[in-house]
């Protein structure tokens, strides 16, 4: 009998990021518009079966089969709501189907209260090497106000359990601009995080997304948000305190200890290609953007009937690529190299753009070692500034 050997793989030079969406949470936070649903163990098990089929289908495609995977990111939703053995199985399947780089970053989003020590240990042994905890604030009243399902004490306990389980790369997510939050509350959250000394910290301002409970409250006039100056002071304080504690701000909202930038997020921010698996996940491959069926039931039906759950795809126009690259590049503190910046704006010389000259003269943009960067002054108005350039 003749044996069928699979064709040898010659790695494609550019690695891929792999995103895996787990669309389940214990409950919905009041600010969240993510593609997530109330956890149900039976549905989750069925979902993972679909995910497993989707892995096989993509792994056999030309655009993926020769690509090294530099990062795997379990996002959601709350991936930590799954059993460790389920995460382990998905990861084993990825290892068998894809070419995972040695030392690939394997991150998992986790919520305090959804993990205990045995589960964390099992996740670590299964290959997860980075945890990202959604903490948001350290005042129980504020956490309740935004619909989080854990308290501050639980967040700290979970952090130390993760350390005990051997996690040496942990991110904490914090949020400012919350209803009822004052500057002092925010400083306490930051100091708490600094005391824990994680490797990475993300600090995002609250955005009132349409359709969320907080958005409804805002429209009804019942939401007490910090004013603009307070929010600016919160952001300023974030930079001051975290930099003072040895964190490097490497993106507008992201800080890390030296050597602990998030590899997976850099895939997005540096406009590299990625494959997204699971309900509603997006992929960026070969100059096209693909998106999956949004609802888990439709996702599973599509996988059963067609083998893939792609609901649509579109080419990414030159114009879109240009503006995304400009926006993402400038959000990074390293900025964009001068040549790329000029290409993105379609100019040969910086002086050819009145907008650029004005932003440089006013000290919002700076030029350092051949790179265009947003200055400390520009950071406070970074989004408006980027919009002006587009």
| Interface size with ligand SF4, residues (CB under 6 A) | 11
Q: Specify whether the backbone of 225 is left (phi greater than 0), alpha (psi in -120 to 50) or beta.
A: beta
Calpha distance 137→146 (Å, rounded)? 10
Closest CB 77 distance from ligand SF4, rounded Å: 5
Q: By CB under 6 A, is residue 359 in contact with ligand SF4?
A: no
Closest CB 26 distance from ligand SF4, rounded Å: 7
Question: What is the per-residue binding string for ligand SF4 in 2-31, x denoting contact by CB under 6 A?
Answer: -----------------------x--xx--
Closest CB 86 distance from ligand SF4, rounded Å: 17
Query: DSSP states of 197-228 as a string?
Result: --SEEEEEE----TTSHHHHHHHTT---PPPH
Query: DSSP states of 58-82 as a string?
Result: HHTSHHHHTEEEEEEEEEES-GGGS
Query: DSSP states of 294-316 as a string?
Result: SSHHHHHHHHHHHS--EEEEEE-
* Short-list 253, 227, 232, CA closest to 242: 253
Q: By CB under 6 A, is residue 32 in contact with ligand SF4?
A: yes
CA-based max dimension of the chain = 76
Question: What is the per-residue binding string for ligand SF4 in 116-145, x denoting contact by CB under 6 A?
Answer: ------------------x-----------
Residue range at the interface with ligand SF4 (CB under 6 A); choices 75-83, 223-231, 360-368, 369-377: 75-83
Closest CB 131 distance from ligand SF4, rounded Å: 14
Calpha distance 129→106 (Å, rounded)? 5
83 CB-contact burial (10 Å; exposed 0-12 / middle 13-18 / buried 19+):
middle
Calpha distance 115→342 (Å, rounded)? 48
Residue range at the interface with ligand SF4 (CB under 6 A); choices 76-84, 285-293, 312-320, 352-360: 76-84
- Nearer CB in complex with ligand SF4: 254/373: 254
Calpha distance 17→268 (Å, rounded)? 8
Between residue 79 and residue 118, which ones bind ligand SF4 under the rule CB under 6 A? 111
Helix (H) or strand (E) holding 267: helix 263-269
Among 15, 17, 50, 77, binds ligand SF4 (CB under 6 A): 77
Q: By CB under 6 A, is residue 335 in contact with ligand SF4?
A: no
Closest CB 218 distance from ligand SF4, rounded Å: 17
Among 15, 17, 50, 76, binds ligand SF4 (CB under 6 A): 76
What is the β-pairing status of strands 310-315 and 67-76? Answer: unpaired
Question: What is the per-residue binding string for ligand SF4 in 157-186, x denoting contact by CB under 6 A?
Answer: ------------------------------
- Nearer CB in complex with ligand SF4: 77/278: 77
Question: What is the per-residue binding string for ligand SF4 in 261-300, x denoting contact by CB under 6 A?
Answer: ----------------------------------------
Q: Which letter does DSSP use for residue 374 in this model?
A: E
Contact footprint for ligand SF4 (CB under 6 A)? 25, 28-29, 32, 34, 36, 76-78, 111, 134
């Amino acid at each position: 009998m003749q044996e069928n050997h699979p064709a040898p793989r010659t790695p494609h030079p550019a690695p891929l990021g792999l995103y895996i969406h787990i669309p389940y949470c214990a409950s919905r936070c009041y600010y969240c518009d993510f593609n997530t649903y109330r956890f149900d163990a039976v549905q989750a098990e069925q979902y993972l079966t679909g995910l497993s089929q989707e892995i096989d289908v993509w792994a056999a495609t030309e655009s993926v089969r020769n690509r090294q995977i530099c990062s795997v990111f379990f996002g959601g939703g709350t991936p930590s709501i799954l059993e460790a053995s389920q995460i382990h199985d998905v990861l084993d399947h990825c290892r068998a189907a894809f070419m995972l780089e040695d030392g690939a970053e394997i991150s998992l989003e986790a919520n305090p209260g959804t993990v205990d020590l045995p589960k964390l240990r099992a996740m670590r042994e299964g290959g997860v090497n980075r945890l990202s905890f959604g903490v948001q604030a350290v005042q129980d009243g504020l956490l309740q106000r935004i619909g989080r399902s854990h308290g501050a004490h639980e967040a700290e306990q979970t952090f130390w359990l993760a350390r005990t389980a051997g996690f040496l790369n942990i991110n904490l997510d914090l949020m400012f601009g919350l209803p009822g939050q004052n500057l002092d509350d925010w400083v306490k959250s930051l100091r708490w995080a600094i005391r824990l000394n994680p490797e990475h910290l993300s600090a995002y301002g609250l955005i009132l997304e349409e359709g969320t409970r907080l958005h409804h409250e805002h429209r009804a006039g019942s939401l007490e948000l910090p004013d603009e100056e307070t929010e600016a002071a919160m952001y300023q304080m974030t930079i001051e305190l975290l930099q003072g504690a040895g964190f490097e701000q490497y993106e507008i909202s992201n800080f890390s200890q030296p050597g602990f930038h998030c590899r997976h997020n850099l895939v997005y921010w540096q406009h590299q290609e990625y494959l997204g698996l699971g309900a509603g996940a997006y992929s960026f491959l070969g100059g096209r953007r693909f998106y999956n069926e949004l609802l888990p039931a439709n996702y599973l039906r599509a996988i059963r009937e067609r083998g893939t759950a792609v609901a649509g795809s579109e080419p990414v126009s030159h114009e879109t690529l240009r503006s995304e690259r400009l926006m993402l590049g400038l959000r990074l503190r390293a900025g964009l190299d001068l040549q790329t910046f000029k290409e993105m704006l379609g100019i040969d010389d910086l002086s050819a753009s009145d907008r650029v000259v004005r932003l440089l003269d006013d000290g919002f943009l700076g030029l350092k070692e051949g790179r265009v960067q947003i200055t400390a002054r520009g950071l406070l108005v970074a989004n408006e500034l980027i919009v002006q350039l587009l």
